Amino acid sequence: HNTILEIVSHTLPQHLFNHSTMGNELSLDILSKTWSIDKDLLSILAYAIDDDMDEDDDAIEEENCMEAMERVRLDWAEHVTKCKHEKSFGRKYRMSHNAFCRLVNILKPYLERNAGKATRGHYIIPQIAVAVGVRYLAGEPYTALNDIANISTTSVFRLKNRFIWAIMKCDEMKIKLPETADEWERVRQGFENISSEKLFRGCVGAIDGFFAPIQQPRVKDANGNPMSFMSGHYGMFGLNCQAVCDARERFLFFGVIAPGKTNDNIAFEFCTHLKNVISALPYGLFLVGDAAYTSNERMLTPMIGSQRLDPVNDAYNFYLSQVRIRIEMAFARLVTKWRILRAPLLGSLSTISCTLMACAIMHNYVIDSDGHNDHLQFNNDNCNIGIEYDFIVRNAPNGMTYLPTMPDGDGEGYYGPSLVTSHTVQASILQVIEQLCIRRPRHNIERNGVGSGTREVSIEETFYAP
C-alpha cells in the first residue's frame, strides 16, 4: 500500500493526486476507482512491487559488497621482473622495457591523477595505465586486461581512453612532415641508400592508401550514407587512410581521410596540407606511389598496360618498386604489431579515427626507440583477432598482411592517372636507364616470369614486384 502511494504520487497528475488522497491518506478503494482496476489486482501489484524492491535491495547490497572487496592491484615491479625472466616483455608490450619506461615518462603529465581522490586509496599508477593502453592496441581483449591488472571493466575502458587521448595530445609524439631542408635531406638520403644504381635518389617519401575495416557506421556518423563506407572489393565497411613513410618505414604523414569506397587518387585530393607540402618541394624531389595516383613531377608512379613491354619501362618499374615498397612494409608492420587493426574496429567514427591515429603514432615511437628490432610477434598469441582476421588475410592480395585500398568493380579508370608521363623527372630517369643499359635483374625475371618477351603479366604482378 505504501509502495503504491509512492508510485501514484509520482505518476498521477498533481491535481488528481491532491484531490483523491485527502492529504496522505490513500486507500486501495480510491486507487481502484481512480484507475478502474480491480482492488484484488492492486493488492497483488503492491505485494509484487514490494517483493521486487526487496530483491533489488539485496542485489544493490551484494554489488556494494563486491565493490568494497579489496582489489589487489598488479605489482608492476614484480610483473616486470617476471616478464624479463620469461623474456616476454617485448612480445607482450611490443617494445623494450627501456622504451616502455620512456613512454611512461612522456605521457605521465597526461595520465597522472590526484592520488588523494582515488577510491578507497587504490591509485592506478601511470605504468598500469600505459600497459592497459598498449596491450589494448596490441589486440588484447577486455576480459584479459581485467585479469592482468586486476581492475574492473569500467577502469579498463577509462584507462584505454585516457591513454589514447594522451597520445593524441602529446606534441612530442605527433606525426610530422619534415619542415627544414636538413630534415628533407635526411629522408632523401635514406631512400638513396636503398635505391639500386641511385636511380630514385630524389625520393623523399612513399605514399599509399590503407583500408581499415570497421563495423557499419551509424547513419548520423555517416552523414546519412553508411554505404559510402562499403568497399565493393572487400565486401566490408572501412575507412580510407592515406600515409607517407620514409625509408625506415616511419610515417611522415598519416591521416584517416575518407570512406572506404573512395579510391586513393580522390582521397589524396582531401589531404590539403600534404598536397601543399608536396607542391612546394624543390625540383628533383618527389614521392613515389602506385598507379592509383596522378603521375607528375612530384609524384612518380609505375608504367602500366602495354608500356611495360618496353624493357626500359620494365626496369623503371622494378627499381621504383624498391623504394615504393617501403610504404607496404610500413602497413604490414603496423597491423602485425598493433593487432586491434586485424579485426573491424568498433565504436563511433571519431573513436575509430583516434584508435587508428594512436596505432600509427605508436608505430613511429617503437621504430624511433627500438629501431627494427622491435619484437614483432607473428603467431596468434595474445591477440583478439577471431574470424574477422582470417577473412582479412584470405582477401589480402599478393600474400600481403594488410588490406590496401582497392578500386570497386573491375577497376576501370583506376589506373588511368599514371598515363600522364610527360614530366621531366621521370623522363630523366628513363634516359639514365637506357644509356646505362640497366634492366630488371635476371633472377627476378626468372622467379616472377615478368618482363619483356616472357609472357603477359598482370598489373598486380608489376605493382608488387619485390
Half-sphere exposure (Cβ direction) of 126: Cα atoms closer than 13 Å = 16
Q: Whole-model pTM?
A: 0.73
Torsion sign (Cα): 96, 102, 108, 111: negative
The helix/strand count (H/E) of the chain reads as: 19, 6
Query: Three cell numbers at 128?
Result: 598500469
Classify residue 216 by its DSSP letter: P
Cα separation, 207 vs 372, in Å, equals 20
Q: Please answer whether residues 323 and 195 qualify as being in contact, where contact means their C-beta atoms are separated by less than 8 angstroms.
A: yes
Q: What stretches in the chain show pLDDT beneath 50?
A: 11-26, 45-65, 68, 115-116, 377-399, 401, 409-422, 451-466
| Cα–Cα dist 338/135, whole Å | 9
Indicate the DSSP class of residue 251. E
Amino acid 452: pLDDT? 43
Question: Can you spell out the DSSP letters for 301-368?
Answer: ----GGGGGSHHHHHHHHHHHHHHHHHHHHHHHHHHHSGGGGS-B-S-HHHHHHHHHHHHHHHHHHHH
Residue 380 has what pLDDT? 38
Q: Residue 252 contacts by C-beta under 8 Å, 6 or more apart in sequence?
A: 175, 176, 177, 178, 187, 205, 244, 245, 246
Which amino acid, residue 238?
A: G
Judge whether 278 and 300 are in contact, CB under 8 Å: no
Q: Which three cell numbers stand for residue 275?
A: 598536397
Question: How many whole angstroms from its chain centre is CA 71?
Answer: 32
**H or E stretch including 253?**
strand 251-259
Residue 274 host element (H or E): helix 272-279
Chain centroid offset of residue 409 CA: 26
Is residue 202 within 8 Å of residue 426, measured between CB atoms? no
Pairing type for strands 236-245 and 230-231 reads: antiparallel
pLDDT score recorded for residue 440: 85
The closest of 127, 30, 142, 9 to 74, measured between CA atoms, is: 127
Closest CA to 170 of 100, 249, 109: 109
CA 97 to chain centre: 24
Task: Check: CB of residue 392 under 8 Å from CB of residue 213.
Answer: yes
In whole angstroms, what is the distance from residue 250 CA to residue 137 CA? 18
What is the per-residue pLDDT across 147-189, written as a single tens digit (0 to 9) for each? 888 888 888 999 999 999 999 999 999 999 999 999 999 999 9
The residues that bridge with 211 in the sheet, in sequence order, are: 240
pLDDT for 25 equals 40
Beta bridge partners of 241: 210, 256
